[in-house]
Chain A
Amino acid sequence: GAVVSQHPSRVICKSGTSVKIECRSLDFQATTMFWYRQFPKQSLMLMATSNEGSKATYEQGVEKDKFLINHASLTLSTLTVTSAHPEDSSFYICSALGQGAHGYTFGSGTRLTVV
């Protein structure tokens, strides 16, 4: 079946540094990628939607200069948290939609801790 590989699964970084999270579709072409964030005790929050080859569409309240999304190919999308701060600590997960995929496929998620 369709698989989305998300790396890293856990990352700890220092405040002020940048962290890149990758999502790769392994056996299908992901034309659309959704990036979500979950705060403790809350449900997922959509951060942005990206289509291959075009700029991501960010949800209201999400800083596009802080959360850089790149979807340069049909099999890879990246989320870079720039100048991370402790309040960026969260669980980030991607979801891909593409031709040949069984509906939407989720990555395994990334737990980011900023110290």
Chain B
Amino acid sequence: AQSVSQHNHHVILSEAASLELGCNYSYGGTVNLFWYVQYPGQHLQLLLKYFSGDPLVKGIKGFEAEFIKSKFSFNLRKPSVQWSDTAEYFCAASNNAGNMLTFGGGTRLMVKP
């Protein structure tokens, strides 16, 4: 069965700390991977996506993610977080046809000023 796992449910960091949020997937065939962010009271926004090519993907707001096929992982990273990064982060995966999208359970990040 297709699944996406985010093992960290809550993460608390101080400003300027480095961030890495884990995402592991279980998918047959070619997989497309996404990271979304949802700020309090707002809808989802796409941070970055991976379809093919360079496994290190750079997104908006200084975020990046690395697709490691051997580990079935697509971890999200940011070298130095800001208070404004406080939000909920979702990893998602779909097959190459984009037929179904599976979300991880989300990670709530709180950045303390």
With A91-B100, A103-B108 as contacts: A38 and B94 at CB distance below 8 Å = yes
- Size class of the B contact interface (CB-based, 8 Å): 20 to 34
A79 nearest CB across to chain B (Å): 15
Q: Which of B18-26, B42-50, B62-70, B75-83 contacts A (4 or more CB under 8 A)?
A: B42-50
Q: Is the CB of B44 within 8 A of A40?
A: no
Report how far A39 CA is from B100 CA in the complex, Å.
10
Q: Is the CB of B44 within 8 A of A36?
A: yes
- Count A interface residues, CB 8 Å: 21
Q: Is the CB of A38 within 8 A of B101?
A: yes
With A40-B97, A41-B98 as contacts: A103 and B44 at CB distance below 8 Å = no
A43 interfacial by beta-carbon distance below 8 Å: yes
Report how far A89 CA is from B103 CA in the complex, Å.
20
Q: Is the CB of B51 within 8 A of A41?
A: yes
Q: Is the CB of B99 within 8 A of A91?
A: yes
Question: Closest residue of chain A to B38, judged by CB?
Answer: A104
Question: Closest residue of chain A to B36, judged by CB?
Answer: A44
> Can you list 18 residue pairs at the A/B interface with Cβ under 8 Å?
A1-B105, A38-B94, A39-B98, A40-B99, A41-B32, A44-B34, A44-B44, A91-B98, A91-B100, A93-B103, A95-B43, A102-B9, A103-B108, A104-B88, A104-B106, A106-B90, A106-B103, A109-B101
Binding site for B on A (CB under 8 A): 1, 34, 36, 38-44, 46, 49, 91, 93, 95, 102-104, 106, 109, 111
